[in-house]
Amino acid sequence: MLMNVEQGIVLVGVEEADKAFLLQLYNSPTVIMNALEPSEYPISASSIDKTVSFFQSGDNKMFIVKVNGERAGMAMLYETSYIHQRCKYGLVLTPEYVGKKVGTYVTELILQYCFNYLNLRKISGEVHLHNEGALKLIHAFGFEQEGILRDHVYREGEHRDMYMYSILKSAVMYPSQMKPYAVAR
């Protein structure tokens, strides 16, 4: 469990009771537009079971984001390599929590967890060109664009690019100057 007590934000591992929330989240129009391929929609309960199993296996991690006890989204770490000291990061919030700095606090928790607890040195991810909120968020932390995946996804009748971003432990900036995270087991 990762937490920012001051902001009431907690990241907890996924449990059986979270699967209905994840099914609703994965089938929301925002997630479909910003994270999933159109061919993957709608997401079934069995797909959620497989996704949760994937993130509970090996070095992958999925967290339920809670704000003051309410489910607010999901954060994930995947393609983790302890040899190369890197992973990929993804975050999805419900519409009610977008634009309220929840993404900032969650990303700070994740970066501190990855860099200080897991001893990784690089975190990367892919962002859709039109996802202005995600682009603003990652720029605030100092993520740098590493490349463009040209014509990578098909959306609304056209192929679109995606950006590849990463941040190194030595370059991270914490926009809210939050207090160090806490890890509870």
- pLDDT tens digits, 92-109: 999 999 989 999 999 999
- Measured between alpha carbons, how far apart are the two ends of the chain, in Å? 6
pLDDT for the residue 177: 55
Question: If 0-12 CB within 10 Å is exposed, 13-18 middle and 19+ buried, where does residue 65 land?
Answer: buried
pLDDT tens sequence across 51-108: 898 888 888 999 999 999 999 999 999 999 999 999 999 999 999 999 899 999 999 9
Domains in the chain: boundaries: 2-183
Fold for domain 2-183? Aminopeptidase (3.40.630)
Q: Report pLDDT digits (tens) over 131-152.
A: 888 999 999 999 999 999 999 8
pTM of the predicted structure, to 2 decimals: 0.87
Largest CA distance in the chain: 46
